[in-house]
Chains A and B, each alone.
Chain A
Amino acid sequence: MDFDLTDEQRLLKDSVDRLITERYDFESRNKYRAEPEGWSRALWEQYAELGLLGLPFPESYGGFGGGPVETMIVMEAFGRGLAVEPYFATVVLGGGLIHQAGSEEQKSALLPQIASGEALLAFAHVERQSRYDLANVTTRAHRADGGWRINGEKSIVLHGDVADQLIVSARTSGSPSDRAGIGLFLVDAKDVTRRGYPLQDGLRAAEVKLDDARAEPLSNPEGALSVAEQVVDAAIGALCAEAVGVMQSMHELTLDYLKTRRQFGRPIGDFQALQHRAVDMYVALEQARSMALFATMMAAEEDPAERRRAITAAKAQIGRSGRHIGQEAIQLHGGIGMTMEYKVGHAFKRMTMIDIMFGDAGAHTEELARLGGLFGT
């Protein structure tokens, strides 16, 4: 086991860290959010030039052959800057699904376009009743004139407002919540009705209506759930890394504030009560970082049960640490923490949304309990 980055990984880390430091201060972020799509196309091009958009894809598809560690490095940096570009939706989820579930033809057509920044993707899986259950799908796909058509509604499709292609989970047989009979389909955004809107953390999403929308299956239209789960588990690992970046940012902001804010004639960081709170935040951060590494390590684990236990444990830890650090960061900032005019509140909101995505800490703890826990099994 070796926790040190390779030379190449270190180079990658230096370049994304520099990018975030130089281009993603709080004021710049506000500017990107104010752009028409709610994020920066110019930065997107820069990500493409740096090779970030093709990072996890094989070189034969215009990528750089990176693995979970490379994705972790990028996501953590994005977390620190609270980046609002559709990287997670397009590269991690969309690209991941194409890469793992697509045919040779689909991969050759789409992955190079993602890598070059031409194509944006989104994964449409949430439905009104589905909560965090990927298998809870009522949207239906059926065969028609040699192809497939989809009917149904998808909700809170992350970056679904700008995606060129949607990957839609739809049922080809069985009843809602059956594990069998779920397919993944590629749908052109032009063939759906969608309504975009902001999320609580400033990212964007869409409600998507599919009305006999033309669709092209990725992998087996009858049994794509397990590959979807595999990609989602890896994506949760990436989300954990992003969360660590967000938490670290909140912790740093808080430490700075404790050192500079003066009350009662001294920096508030002189009060031991607050020092201990900052220490507890730090402990929570390190616990989260460790579990994000664990998730990264297990993201490509082949035994799905083993992988799921690890991912579920990591997401639960991230959710809990994130909530603790976020709430404390606001509290120790006092009134300033409550305003939109200061970064820490935005980080708190991003963290809160990450906790919800793919299941909050409570849901994952429950799932892990159901799976028998981590030890002694």
Chain B
Amino acid sequence: MDLNFTPEERAFREEARRFFRTEVPEKIRRKVEEGHHLSKEDIVTSQRILNARGWAVPAWPREWGGQDWSPAQMYLYQDEMQQANVPSPLPFNVSMVGPVIAEFANEEQKRRFLPATANLDIWWCQGFSEPGAGSDLASLRTSARRVGDKYIVNGQKTWTTLAQHADWIFNLVRTDPSAKKQEGISFLLIDMKTHGIKVRPIQTIDGGHEVNEVFFDDVEVPAENLVGEENKGWDYAKFLLGHERTGIARVGISKARIKRIKELAALERIGGRPLIEDQHFREKLAAVEIELKALEMTQLRVVADERKRERGKPNPASSILKLKGSVIQQLTTELLMEVVGPHAMPYQPSEEGRNEPIIGPEYATEAAPTYFNYRKVSIYGGSNEIQRNIVAKAILGL
């Protein structure tokens, strides 16, 4: 056992730090730091800069742009990226549909989709959840009926993140209504411009437009857009959900927020002194930092273990990362609320070209929306209750 990074790994960290902080535009990173919504263009710009260096999809197979990095390198890459407030490459592309296509699609599909997916020439959204199928995803009902060389898709998806920007959607659809729940599902790629698709925005409690409903009304999809085999979609979905789970702790993002909390707590004064000098506040912050360090070490252990496991088999320990990681992220947003105090109250959605002056200090405007918005991180991607169920069964054998 050697718990220290090697000189090579340390050099890699330096390289990553320099790259993220010099190549990705300051303007975009500042938006991330301050908690503002990113435009589509921001996300695309940033991912293309990464992709130009081969750093958008390091975990993919080498022939499709992957890097064959060691677990330590993967970790350092993510940590440096998040601490530099670089937007994560679009997860739907990079950690979801990309790996599925690389693993299960045919050559033709790989050539057609993978390079464009890595470069964000295609923006993907994830069509899994439905009104009646959330945690119980396998009960989904959106149907795809095979007619000649087409599928006819009918139904509804919901909570579809950033569908308003999406060019394509990867959908779980029911192709065999008579089979057992998990066995009649297929993985279908659908062009969002196809006739019969409607997207309706859902406003979230922070006031943002991040999720949508997507309706399918007799949508014709070429059969060649099926990934892998018909009725094997559940296996691919499980592979997808198990892939690249180590990033979900989002340790670097919490580190960046703690840094910001400290900076802002130096600006806010309480009882004539900067808040950061308030012992009680410092103890609360320190308690979160301890939890975060423990999580980081846990993440490193899970990452190191990844290598020894069968590819695509999800490691149930990654549930710990999701559980703790989400709670810590939420705690940091609460601390930020505490820092700005009453300045969190005015509702001032960030708008490009706003001409009214900001009410209160500019740094306070996103505190409450971020706190509200981050309630999502313990709900999506398998809720924290579902993660506990997984740990109870798969690790504890209960």
Contact = CB atoms under 8 A, between A and B. Distances in A.
B215 interface: no
B336 to A, nearest CB: 13
Given A132-B341, A362-B338, A366-B280, A337 B347 contact: no
A131 B270 contact: yes
Contacts of A126: 342
A177 B369 CA distance: 31
Interface string A251-280: 000000000001111000001011000000
Contact of A263 (B135, B345, B359, B379): B135
B375 A327 contact: yes
Interface string B370-387: 011001101110011100
B207 A340 contact: yes
Given A126-B342, A131-B270, A263-B135, A331 B347 contact: no
Interface string A107-146: 0000000000000000000101101110000000000000
Interface string B251-288: 00000000000000000111110000000110010000
B136 interface: yes
A205 interface: yes
Given A349-B205, A356-B342, A200 B359 contact: no
A339 B375 contact: no
Interface in A318-365: 323, 327, 330-331, 334-335, 337-341, 345-346, 348-349, 352-353, 356-357, 360, 362
B204 A334 contact: no
Contacts of A156: 342-343, 345-346, 359-360
Given A155-B359, A263-B134, A331 B139 contact: no
A156 B360 CA distance: 9
B376 A338 contact: yes
A94 to B, nearest CB: 19
Nearest to B392: A273
Given A199-B346, A264-B135, A341-B203, A335 B379 contact: yes
Contacts of A200: 344-347, 368-369, 372
Contacts, number: 128
A74 B154 CA distance: 49
Given A198-B347, A200-B347, A362 B280 contact: yes
Interface SS of B by simple majority = mixed
Contacts of A262: 132
A334 B383 contact: yes
A360 B270 CA distance: 13
Given A200-B347, A207-B359, A360-B341, A263 B202 contact: no
Contacts of A360: 337-338, 341
B117 interface: no
B136 A331 contact: no
Interface of A: 126, 128-129, 131-133, 155-156, 177, 195, 197-200, 205, 207, 262-265, 271, 273-274, 323, 327, 330-331, 334-335, 337-341, 345-346, 348-349, 352-353, 356-357, 360, 362, 366
Interface of B: 129, 132, 134-136, 139, 158-159, 202-205, 207, 211, 268-272, 280-281, 284, 330, 334, 337-338, 341-348, 356, 359-361, 368-369, 371-372, 375-376, 378-380, 383-385, 388-389
The 3 A-B residue pairs with the shortest CB-CB distance, nearest first, are A345-B205, A263-B136, A340-B203
30 contacts: A128-B361, A131-B341, A133-B271, A155-B359, A156-B360, A197-B347, A197-B348, A200-B345, A200-B346, A205-B345, A264-B135, A273-B385, A273-B389, A327-B330, A327-B375, A331-B378, A335-B129, A335-B211, A337-B379, A338-B204, A338-B376, A339-B205, A345-B372, A348-B372, A353-B345, A356-B342, A356-B345, A357-B342, A360-B338, A362-B338
